[in-house]
Homo-oligomer: A and B are copies of this chain.
Amino acid sequence: MSDVSQSVTAGEPFELSQEECRVLLSAGLVGRVAVCTPLGPHIVPVNYSVVDDSVVVRTTPYSILGSHARGSVLALEVDQFDYERRHGWSVVARGRADLVTGADELEEVKARWQPHAWAAGSRNLFLRIRWSELTGRRLGAGWSPVDELPVHHVG
């Protein structure tokens, strides 16, 4: 693990359960996707939505993700750090990405997208990351990230 546990937070890191990871991941709206390219890794902030055991992100054909993500393993990270209280959590979903192309699948993805109102357009690619690893940690004892979730999903 990184140094976050040793320096910003005074506490030890604790592994989060699969269920806690899923709850935290599902409650978020913005994460960061890492993708490997021939010139090294890139990190891209993304809106995302959890659909079943996948994370779905939107991108454009000529972006970093549009160019390098299809068929590749990606990592999506969400986190929250409280500088005052020196604790936080981080969840990472890793898995291979493919394009959502079927009409039924697209309908399902769009129906679950948060917020519901977003601009349509021909640039929309939906990348689905079916995670094969879902891991997370919280930093600092005596609190629960799930209990302290902010309410971002307001429809």
The DSSP consensus for interface residues of chain A is: strand
Find chain B residues with CB under 8 A from A81 CB.
30, 45
Q: Are A40 and B36 in touch, CB under 8 angstroms?
A: yes
- A contact set with B: CB distance below 8 Å: 1-4, 6-8, 29-30, 32-36, 39-47, 57-60, 63, 65, 72-77, 79, 81, 83, 88, 90, 92, 94, 113, 115, 118-119, 150, 152
Contact A65 B6 (CB under 8 A): no
Pull 19 A–B residue pairs with CB atoms less than 8 Å apart, ordered by A. Answer: A1-B60, A2-B33, A2-B59, A2-B63, A3-B46, A3-B57, A3-B59, A7-B58, A7-B115, A30-B88, A32-B43, A32-B77, A34-B43, A36-B36, A39-B73, A40-B73, A42-B94, A43-B43, A83-B150
